[in-house]
Amino acid sequence: MPHTNNMRAQTLSPPADIGGEIFATFFRSARHSRRSVAGFSGALLAIGTLSSPCLAAAKTDCNLSATSAAQAGDSACSRAWIDANLRLDDIQVIGTHNSYKQRMPPEEFTAHHALDAHGADTLDYGHRPLDEQLDAGMRELELDVWDDPQGGRWLHPPGALRQGFSSPPWPPAQAEQMTKPGFKVMHLADIDFRSTCMTFAACLSIIRDWSTAHPRHAPITILINAKDGKLGPGSVAALKFDEAAFDRLDAEIRSVFQPAQLITPGDIQGKFPTLRDAARAGHWPTLGQARGRILFALDESDDKIALYRGARKSLEGRAMFATVKEDSPAAGYITLNDPIADQGRIRTAVSAGLLVRTRADADTFEARRNDTARREAAFASGAQFVSTDYFEPDPRFGPYRVRFDGGAIARCNPVRAAAKCAGVPIE
């Protein structure tokens, strides 16, 4: 929900105390009120989340109550307007599907293709390391996690040749990581197990370090799949996720990120009765408040989400949002992966204040045919997170790729805030 203000940025005087507690105190006090932009900007200035152009805007006659960034004043004012007036649900970003995944080696891919040609074709993609994807503008990532509380469970996969390996099939540093307790990051633990970062903690550390080095980045969303499905011959069985496993998963997230670096369900719910109530009331942080922060979302089946929620009314105390039905008390984020079939449902959810992830392509289909229909439907749907395997083309298949016009990293949401950015870059 948009908010209005009657004060101009020239009334600001940056507080002397630049500690994070100023922001925390302000945010707590503002949870149920639409404070002036001067108040929001003052809190942001206090913790240094506004860049130097926005600091300059605080001393300029900026109209932060304008209806769009173009009407706020000069370029610094326009950027200050975006930080103060856009909320997390008012933007749209591109991200990657199975962001950690590396391609299978040719001989293993060929062996799998001989057994299951279609299945092998759906696996024929891979990604750059996570920090390189972030450098390229991806602001949504996806990690598949497999439980390994004792360590070493996944050290000896059978591989697509179903012959095993004489030694663990990773570089020595990664093989050593596989012996340690903690969640592992892989697509299919039996045949498609090579990742740019093999442990959950290692993947998160890469993202944290990149975020710390780029504090003005648009918020990054990390989708989590909790994998425990049946595997093929020669593989050990996956451990089923239960509430204790999800507790450990939350603990690993919080072992890497400090509370101030995260956007959690509790931050959004505040004193609202449910997370759904808060989301529908527009209780998302402004872009200025969300810059440099990370949001996690559990993208899983209803039974696993029930285990993750436990007896909670919403997601109180949890580190991750969770995909649920739109009328659930825990509704803040949902996954709707088919932007063509679910176009109306996505637009309705986005209009109602929910965060939505959809997919521009799947299973290499669109890339092999240069079919852009699903991509364009994803963009038009207003889903805040548009996921792809092709933020850059795969030259084996053709020119298909998923990027915004001009290579923008983020843009005003076409359903919620179509005209508000007026060409001013969000990042």
Q: Look at residue 27 in the predicted model and tell me its pLDDT.
A: 40
Q: Look at residue 61 in the predicted model and tell me its pLDDT.
A: 86
Q: What is the mean pLDDT of the chain?
A: 89
Prediction pTM value: 0.87
Residues 6 or more apart whose Cβ sits within 8 Å of residue 113: 120, 121
In the sheet that 410-412 helps form, which strands lie side by side, from edge to edge?
333-335, 355-359, 385-388, 91-96, 410-412
Q: Which of 25, 72, 39 is nearest to 53 (CA)?
A: 72
How much is the average pLDDT of 70-79? Answer: 94
For the segment 48-65, what is each residue's pLDDT rounded down to a tens digit? 444 444 444 454 689 999
For the segment 247-294, what is each residue's pLDDT rounded down to a tens digit? 999 999 999 999 999 999 999 999 999 999 999 999 999 999 999 999
CA distances from 320 to 29, 129, 295, 323, 387 (A): 24, 23, 7, 10, 19
For the segment 334-366, what is each residue's pLDDT rounded down to a tens digit? 999 999 999 999 999 999 999 999 999 999 999
Residues 6 or more apart whose Cβ sits within 8 Å of residue 405: none
Q: Look at residue 52 in the predicted model and tell me its pLDDT.
A: 41
Q: Is the pLDDT of residue 394 over 90?
A: yes
HSE of 387 in the Cβ direction (CA atoms, 13 Å)? 24
Residue 406, amino acid: G
Q: Look at residue 60 in the predicted model and tell me its pLDDT.
A: 62
Report residue 211 CA to chain centroid gap.
13
By percentage, how much of the chain surpasses pLDDT 70?
A: 86
For the segment 87-140, what is each residue's pLDDT rounded down to a tens digit? 999 999 999 999 999 999 999 999 999 999 999 999 999 999 999 999 999 999
For the segment 6-45, what is each residue's pLDDT rounded down to a tens digit? 333 322 223 233 233 333 433 433 333 333 343 344 344 3
Q: Is the pLDDT of residue 388 over 90?
A: yes
For the segment 283-330, what is each residue's pLDDT rounded down to a tens digit? 999 999 999 999 999 999 999 999 999 999 999 999 999 999 999 999
Q: Is the pLDDT of residue 405 over 60?
A: yes
382: tokens are 């207003």
Q: Is the pLDDT of residue 190 over 90?
A: yes
Q: Look at residue 36 in the predicted model and tell me its pLDDT.
A: 39
Q: Look at residue 42 in the predicted model and tell me its pLDDT.
A: 38
Do residues 413 and 79 make contact, with C-beta atoms less than 8 angstroms apart?
no
